[in-house]
Amino acid sequence: MSVTVKVAFGGQQATMFGIHRPFANMMASTSCRLANFLANDRLMFRARNDRPASARAYADEESRTMKARLRGPAAGQPAARVALALGLAVAGAAALHAAELKEETLAAWQRYVAATERRMAREIGDGARFLVLDFHDDAEPMRRETLAGEPLIWRAETRDDAGESIDVPKGSIHHWLGAILIPNADVDHVVDGLQYAIPPHELQNDVLESRVLWRAGDRLGTFLKLSRKAIVTMHYNTEHVAEYVRPGGGRAWSRSES
């Protein structure tokens, strides 16, 4: 499996001045936080002159208390604010360095993917069982919940051929499985619906764009533009290759690479 993600950090200055884009993004975020802090300090904590004396005295006391909590022993000194900004920048740079993908992490990920695909191949060829929940230790109660209309999501772990956990140095793998019942629909109806682009008015909120790039029988390439927001808004342009297989007997399965 491979992942292709293009991230728009959005600053021509970052390229112009030779600053690494993730670091430039971190600097911009830090600057916004500092500007927000200074604006709160100058505007929100300032007592309005048109308030009554008692209310103004109360606001002044609240302002001093809040400033003491935010600034600590160096309250009122510009040097403390600069140190705060530099501290955030250094912490962000350290976190960025720690997030770099290591070769041993990628190798472990590839071992995990290979083991997962071998397991799925065995499950598809099982004959008696087919759905992913059929291979769970609590298959029967999970099937009853699904048929009752309850969507199920659970965390999974693929082990190696010896049954041991696959160690991932300097990283972690999040592996989730799920099951849901789509009432009043047959397999062909569901699979056909998955092979065509979703109309814009039916997209979920974090999907900005969806379209089919190419099609070859039951194989197709698709494009999704996703949006994620955490302090700053990030846009991800992703491409996917999916294959749909219909072995008959009211069954179908698909495999997708991103």
Name, in order, each residue with C-beta under 8 angstroms of 258's C-beta and a sequence gap of 6 or more: 1, 2, 3, 4, 238, 239, 240
Tens-of-pLDDT digits for all 258 residues of the chain?
433 332 333 333 444 445 555 555 666 666 666 565 555 555 444 444 444 444 444 444 544 544 444 444 444 455 544 444 445 444 554 555 556 889 999 999 999 999 999 999 999 989 889 999 999 999 999 999 999 999 999 999 999 989 999 999 999 999 999 999 999 888 998 998 888 878 888 888 899 999 999 999 889 999 999 999 888 999 999 999 999 999 988 899 999 999
Alpha carbon 130 to its chain centroid, in Å, reads: 29
Picking from 202, 192, 187, 194, the residue whose alpha carbon sits closest to that of residue 249 is 187
Strand pairing partners for 147? Answer: none
Six token digits for residue 247: 């072995």
Residue 159: CA count within 13 A, CB half-sphere: 5
CB atoms within 10 A of CB 131: 15
**Amino acid in the structure at residue 200:** P
Query: Facing residues of 216 across strands?
Result: 219
